[in-house]
Amino acid sequence: MSEFRAAQVEYNNYYQMMSDGVRMQAFHTAIKRSIKPGDVVIDLGAGTGILGIWALQAGAKKVYAIEKTEAIELAREIARVNGYLDRIEFIQDNSMNVSLPQRADAIISETIGSFAVDENMMQYMVDARERMLVDGGVLIPNALNIFAAPVDSKGVYDKIDFWRKFSNVDFSPAFELFSHKMMVESILTDHLLAEPLRLQPVDLNTWKGDSYMARNYFPIQRTGTIHGMAGWFTVTLCDDVQINTAPDQPETHWKQAFFPFRDPIRVVQGDVLDWSVVVAGTSSGSDHTHISYQYRCTQMREEIRAERIGRNDPCPCGSGLKSKKCCGRMDGDSCNGI
């Protein structure tokens, strides 16, 4: 890919973010409410520089815009044409390599992924908080709550299964790779097989370390097939300003994270899914993370099949039909319910 095309792809990503009304309104409101006249502000991972400009409009006297990519040149030009160049100092570097002549009163950063922590944001925020922020300074955002639930969505899973069904050429290595990779998808509430659970919360004011781990047990509420896990978040920007990316909320550019299962699991009401996830940076100062997840599920479905159930008894799959009209008249995995 040429340098020009690479830059074009990057700026297309900025379009997706900046045309997201939920994201933009929340950050604008939080900055207006949190930045005080005379504040020194760090715009961490500045991108096009919009958050730093909003900080100046809110009364900040100085902004340090730290951005390691060539997007900083676009941010500089935007600041120039808007008359803010004299109050923004642009630093093109990884923030972990940067030392400032003074500590900031506030750090603003939008380095949030679809699973909240999948862009290694905690590593950068914790480092900047410890080295660059005054005691009691403001962090935007300051807290994350991450949620997950098992998902029945053949349509999403077919994007993975596609690689096993490719004709003429064996693409199984692609299937093995992608079946363990997080995807960004629009998940519907109807796809959820269990009540969403909050995972390990993150308080960015006190969080230590740069990795994230959680393990939860999800009681299955209805018969279906687990094709993977959906993940989303709420992020607190200031006391009364949040962004919520749940499936029942207005869609944002983050959509939802989807963690495919290599082999889908048929479940019935009463099964329990044990799911754990670890998110860690691939290396110090990298935007990339390694996400690993493990899962296992009880299989009451098999236990039910082993029981002797009368043809006129209620079907154990929970359909409300008699066994002879539902599972009792089917064989194997073709059953209406289990």
| pLDDT tens-digit series, residues 255-313 | 999 999 999 999 999 999 999 999 998 776 677 789 999 999 998 766 555 555 566 76
Q: How far apart are CA 100 and CA 88, in angstroms?
A: 13
> What distance lies between CA 267 and its chain's CA centroid?
26
The mean pLDDT value of the chain amounts to 89
pTM reported for the whole predicted model:
0.86
Contacts of 41 (CB under 8 A, 6+ apart): 35, 52, 55, 60, 62, 63, 64, 104, 105, 106, 107, 108
**What's the mean pLDDT in 36-46?**
97
Which of 319, 306, 292, 301 lies closest to 265 in space, CA to CA?
A: 301
| Residue given tokens 């922020």 in the structure block | 133
Q: How far apart are CA 338 and CA 326, in angstroms?
A: 9
Digit-coded pLDDT (tens) for 101-122: 999 999 999 999 999 999 888 8
Q: How far apart are CA 84 and CA 315, in angstroms?
A: 69
pLDDT band at 331 (very low <50, low <70, confident <90, very high): very low
**What's the mean pLDDT in 150-174?**
94
**What's the mean pLDDT in 59-83?**
95
Top pLDDT among 9 and 313 is at 313
**What's the mean pLDDT in 74-88?**
96
Q: How far apart are CA 84 and CA 327, in angstroms?
A: 69
Top pLDDT among 311 and 233 is at 233
Which amino acid is it at 300? Answer: M
